[in-house]
Chain A
């Protein structure tokens, strides 16, 4: 269970939501415009006047299509068709209503607003403002031409300008507030994980307590009930078995001073203490679902410097997934051969051209390539649009002397 969208997904979601808002508003305006053109022709009743009701249908169809798939071609088509439809609509309205002496009319603003709102249909701030401006300009031009055609005075109305300013304001606000939820959202994601971890710990503690009761506690009670003298063979065997079970070699007398405390599997420790594990936890805090697979203990085969290098490089890969891929999940796979340990970071989001030299790819080059190459490893990237990205980092277990020199501070 998680509250709210993580920041890296909220940007795209917000963009889609604004697009829907713009589309629904535009369709409502076009619906109202259809009603108005219908009302204007109601008294006439000729077939030609009823056909004029269909004037705005192409705009409606294109707006619906834009909702399904946003492309520049479709947007341009909407603007071109919309300009023609707006012109025909304005001419029809002005001709059918002799009382309309100028163009400062709410009913004429309806298709103009619908044209302006094309800027909100999922394009981002800058492009959105440009499309909206183009939509407003073309629609107003259509109204000017309609005024010239019908011999009416052209007067600007405030409604479409107000809609334009509102849209621009919302787009700018959206751009300014993106990412402002990041810190509390991370805290919530971490809390969700921690809550579950605590639950699991409580279950395991109950098991561990039962186990303790059956072993060490019974041993102590047996000793407490013993008569002074040599330890019986059965009790000795039990004590030795129980000490072994809790990770202590009963014959290792030098360890009895209490200085050496076994803490579990060293390879497992290497994983939990590694930068790679921290990188994964940080990405999870940001709301990225990271699956870990393969032989995680293989990380323990690497020296601490190489573990750190691969961890920091993987962190950059996961940051890239969060920033650029638009994917909600990623997978980290660890594997080992006799010569090397491989760490693979895979996402199914938007890919990129690996040869890209854009500023946002500098992190990949510097933090991933350079870092891994400094420890004698190699990085291979497979990426293409709509398929995702795979970064494979291979770190040798026994680097050359040159690599050793490179690692040294």
Chain B
């Protein structure tokens, strides 16, 4: 495919959106990320305490510690995987994290089988419950509840079979509730949070949409004023003085005819270029002009290499984030404004690269850009940044384009 056709645009724009805080409120989830390592530390701390207090009940200490080791791996993997720079957290991460935890918990249960005094102080149900609280930020409520139900069922059933060995004799189903309740209760808590937050976000979207509609006349007036100013400034440079002088003199000379031809030619070229302006070019020009860079819209357009107009594939959300990335790059203190360029390729599944030279530190660039790159990833694009030898490259692509 050499051009971006309408079918491709529809396909790229119509990817389904999950109702998760990660998808609908990516910046909010980024600020909540710090909770994930905290929950992991609590989980490991509790599991360590539980493991140590169960050593005298363990039939196979190696298995006990193996279960704990699996948990440690999960506790390290989850914060790393959920970090804003690696968004989004997908279903397989979810299933993998809880599944591995379940395996660790089962290894622990197997190691104390027949010697366990109490089930309520086993670490499995508590740790899985803590991780499910975090998962509700990233995954849809039905999925979290389904995974929680499976985990509760497995640990609950194990507890029922273990009931005959433990110190307190009671109805085995009571032990089912002991093992299953923490998982179900905390998963419900996490899901309640996620459901309300996403509901609030969706309600805000409606408000924002109607606010945007009411803003339309004002934006139109602003746009009209900008276009008018641009046009008058351009005409006043050469054309208006030429025509006014001609009118004053009242005579046309050969030189006037030649100059009129030349002015008409340049005016026509400028008009064609103006009509060919792209959203990316305009955004870039505007971002650099805020910096104080004397970059006209036409120059902005020349910095964009998008012959197939692949920018048409962007949804409103994607444009908002890409626009914010461009504006943020333009504000980097060490940026060499003349080096900023955007290139688009692969019409079948567009890939965009924003490149520039900057003397800013990698750390400060990451601090500025990661929120937006993470947001872009959360809404379904593959996005990342590279910085080496003073060259920054921000890349964002539709998933199929990364093959």
Binding site for B on A (CB under 8 A): 1-6, 9-10, 13-14, 16-25, 27-29, 32, 35-36, 39-40, 42, 97, 99-101, 105-107, 110, 113, 157-159, 162, 166, 169-170, 173, 177, 180-181, 184-185, 187-188, 190-206, 208-209, 212-213, 216-217, 219-221, 223-231, 236, 239-240, 242-243, 246-248, 250, 253, 255-258, 261-264, 268, 272, 284, 287, 289, 291-292, 328-329
Contacts and interface: CB of A to CB of B under 8 A. Distances in A.
B333 to A, nearest CB: 15
A2 B204 contact: yes
A272 B225 CA distance: 10
B323 A248 contact: no
Interface stretch (B95-103, B246-254, B390-398): B246-254
A201 B286 CA distance: 12
B229 A263 contact: yes
Contacts, number: 339
B83 interface: no
Interface string B195-229: 11100110011011111101110111111111111
Contacts of A169: 38
A13 B181 contact: no
Given A3-B320, A3-B375, A195-B279, A25 B205 contact: no
Contacts of B235: 216, 246
A173 B35 contact: yes
Interface centre among A32, A158, A201, A226 (most CB of B within 10 A): A201
A39 B171 contact: yes
B236 A198 contact: no
B14 interface: no
A200 B218 CA distance: 11
Contacts of B268: 217
Contacts of B208: 1-2, 192, 287, 289
B282 A202 contact: yes
A217 B232 CA distance: 14
B240 A110 contact: no
Contacts of A204: 223-224, 227
Contacts of B207: 289, 328-329
Contact of B193 (A20, A39, A180, A206): A20
A198 B322 CA distance: 14
Given A223-B257, A242-B243, 17 more contacts: A1-B316, A2-B212, A3-B24, A20-B196, A21-B190, A39-B173, A99-B168, A180-B31, A181-B31, A184-B27, A196-B216, A197-B219, A198-B286, A200-B223, A224-B257, A231-B250, A291-B211
Contact of A220 (B196, B264, B321): B264
B260 A220 contact: yes
Contact of B168 (A18, A100, A213): A100
B261 A194 contact: no
Contacts of A243: 240, 243-244, 247
Nearest to A42: B171
A185 B197 CA distance: 16
A255 B236 CA distance: 10
Contact of B244 (A40, A253, A262): A253
A289 B171 CA distance: 59
Interface stretch (B54-62, B64-72, B270-278, B346-354): B270-278
A1 B250 contact: no
A17 B193 contact: yes
B34 A177 contact: yes
Interface string B8-45: 00000000000000001111101110110010001000
16 contacts: A13-B197, A17-B200, A24-B192, A100-B168, A191-B319, A201-B223, A206-B275, A224-B264, A226-B257, A230-B251, A239-B247, A246-B240, A250-B247, A258-B241, A264-B228, A284-B215
Contact of B236 (A17, A23, A105, A261): A261
Nearest to A221: B264
A378 to B, nearest CB: 28
A205 B272 CA distance: 10
Contacts of A202: 277, 279, 282
Nearest to A207: B227
Contacts of B227: 201, 204-205, 208
Contact of B279 (A110, A198, A289): A198
Contact of B252 (A1, A107, A213, A229): A229
Interface string B298-319: 0000000000000000011101
A5 B319 contact: no
Contacts of B28: 4-5, 10, 14, 181
Contacts of B371: 181, 184
Contact of B323 (A29, A194, A291): A194
A158 B177 CA distance: 17
A110 B224 CA distance: 65
A17 B28 CA distance: 13
Contacts of A100: 168, 170
B286 A1 contact: no
Nearest to A114: B185
A186 B248 CA distance: 53
A21 B271 contact: no
B363 interface: no
A223 to B, nearest CB: 4
Nearest to A106: B120
B200 A289 contact: no
**Those 4 A-B pairs whose CB atoms lie nearest each other, nearest first:** A289-B211, A24-B192, A25-B189, A191-B323
A188 B325 CA distance: 9
A32 B323 CA distance: 50
Contacts of A268: 221, 225
A221 B260 contact: yes
B261 A177 contact: no
Contacts of A3: 24-27, 317, 320-321, 375, 379
B316 to A, nearest CB: 4
B143 to A, nearest CB: 16
Contacts of B126: 162
Nearest to A248: B240
Contact of B241 (A216, A227, A256): A256
Contacts of B257: 223-226, 228
B73 interface: no
B219 A196 contact: yes
A5 B204 contact: yes
